[in-house]
Amino acid sequence: MTEDFALYKQSLELWRDYGVMYHGRVEPTWNTLDFAWVKTYCIEEFDATDAWDSPASRFKLWQEELYRSWGHKKASTEHYMAFDPVIDFSARPIFKEIGCDKTFHSFNFMRIPAGMIIPWHCDTYAYFIKKFDISAEDVTHVKRAIVFMEDWSFGQTAQFGRSALSHWEAGDVYSWDHAAWHGVANFGNKPITVMQVTYYDKTNTDKS
């Protein structure tokens, strides 16, 4: 492990120092979540021999080795992503609720089927950092928020640092700090679908 990961190694050890922030709830106006979903996994997400050499790719590969050492299996991390989809609702109220409507932001969607997990991890934000040319000095200002697109159902839980979530409602908006470790488990009978918003937060101090 290199110094590239020093912050994330520390935040893994100090995971209880982090939490999640509830922003509020936006009124659900979406009619469909029928996107062009792409199946992916948290393990072997890309070919290590073809990985572009960057702190983000090296960190991702290190995390995958961590999952294996914990006993996680590739098959149990199956989930679906929708990047740059056409949406049938205005996202402006969501961006305003988060407070990123006047700064850099992007979004995508994730769906986690019943029986699947997203292991304890820290985000790399690689695409966002490259797209908006975020400097190394400003990387910790990059944050992520989620909007739950459907009401909570039994067997669904998400954890961000010390904060465990359940019983959410469609439209609930949460965010967490750049280096906060988090994960999702779905041992129920319905998928978990979220909108992920990545954004630049000038006020971020990297602690919730």
Looking at residue 93, its pLDDT comes to 97
Whether residue 146 has pLDDT greater than 60? yes
pLDDT beyond 90 at 143: yes
Residue 99: exposure state from Cβ atoms within 10 A (0-12, 13-18, ≥19): middle
Report whether 20 contacts 168 (CB < 8 A).
no
Cβ neighbours of 135 (radius 10 Å): 8
Hey, what are 136's tokens? 């190394």
Four-point Cα dihedral 55, 2, 142, 80, nearest 10: 60
- 3-39+79-200: CATH class: mainly beta
Determine the average pLDDT of the residues in 150-173: 98
> For residue 202, what pLDDT is reported?
80
**The overall pTM is greater than 0.85:** yes
> pLDDT digits over 51-66, tens only?
555 667 788 889 999 9
The full set of domain ranges for the chain reads: 3-39+79-200
Q: For 14-27, what is the mean pLDDT? A: 97
pLDDT digits (tens, 9 = 90+) for 77-131: 999 999 989 999 999 999 999 999 999 999 999 999 999 999 999 998 988 988 8
